[in-house]
Amino acid sequence: MKQTISFITLGVADLARSRAFYARLGWQESSASQEGIAFFQAGSVAFALFPREALAEDANVAAEGSGFPAFTLAHNVESEAAVLALLDAAVAAGARLVRPADKVFWGGFRGYFADPDGFLWEVCHNPFIALDDAGFISLP
């Protein structure tokens, strides 16, 4: 298997609400989107929103269940000030602040918000991993 991720798809309770939330964060929806699915280009990865029940059906699993999904999404930014600004923008767009930004023992600075479906986003400044001109990380 090639070491790559092509899509991250979130199963959401209300597709219109989730589309509106990400639009308020400034995300531009792709023309590949359709009535029942929203696509966004996220660097080299495609990010998609799909109704939770339909996604579960597509994977042939039960849609029931809630709580911690055992993963987070992360968005790295160039500074501590950018972490604070993005957390504020997310809350203004309808997110719930889960963890206010603070210093991390290893030298970074991060906070967490939850989108309308409770998916956790870490907003992080890692001074040890540089961002390129487009804002993407490149691991050593």
* Distance between CA atoms of residues 114 and 118, nearest Å: 5
Q: Are residues 77 and 56 in the same domain?
A: no
Domain range for residue 39? Answer: 1-61
Interval 86-126: pLDDT, tens: 999 999 999 999 999 999 999 999 999 999 998 999 999 99
Q: Are residues 136 and 111 in the same domain?
A: yes
Q: Are residues 79 and 48 in the same domain?
A: no
Check: pTM over 0.75? Answer yes or no: yes
* Distance between CA atoms of residues 22 and 95, nearest Å: 10
Q: Are residues 43 and 78 in the same domain?
A: no
On whether residue 66 sits in a domain, the answer given is no
Q: In the chain, how many domains are there?
A: 2
Q: Are residues 75 and 139 in the same domain?
A: yes
Domain with 100 in it: what CATH number?
3.10.180.10
Q: What local confidence, expressed as pLDDT, does residue 64 receive?
A: 81
